[in-house]
Structure 1
Amino acid sequence: MDHTEIIPRTKFDNERANQLENAKKENILLVLPQLLEWLQDINWPIAQDIGDVLVDFEDHLIPHIRAVLNSDDGGWKFSFINPQSHSLVQSSQPISVRCGFT
Structure 2
Amino acid sequence: MNNEDLIPRDKEDLDFIERLKNKSIIEIKEIIPRLLVWLQDGNWPQATPIMKYFQPHVNEIDSELVEILKGNDPSWKYHIINGLLKNSPAKLNENLIAVLRELAQNPSIADQEEEINLLSEEVLNDLE
TM-score range, shorter chain: 0.7 to 0.9
Counterpart amino acid of 1:91?
S
Alignment of 1:62-101 (within 5 A): 62-82=62-82, 86-92=83-89, 99=96, 100=98, 101=100
The residue aligned with 1:19 is 19
Alignment gaps of 5+ in structure 2? 102-128
CA contact (8 A) 1:51 1:87 kept: yes
Give secondary structure in 2 for the equivalent of 1:42: coil
Considering Cα pairs closer than 8 Å and 6+ residues apart, tell me whether 1 or 2 has the greater RCO. 1
Pair member with larger Rg: 2
Identity %: 29
Moved more, 53-62 or 91-100: 91-100
Aligned equivalents of 1:29, 1:70: Cα separation in 2: 20
CA contact (8 A) 2:33 2:64 kept: yes
Query: RMSD of the TM alignment (CA)?
Result: 2.4
Aligned equivalents of 1:45, 1:71: Cα separation in 2: 24
Q: What is the TM-score when the length of structure 2 is the normalising length?
A: 0.65
Give secondary structure in 1 for the equivalent of 2:72: coil
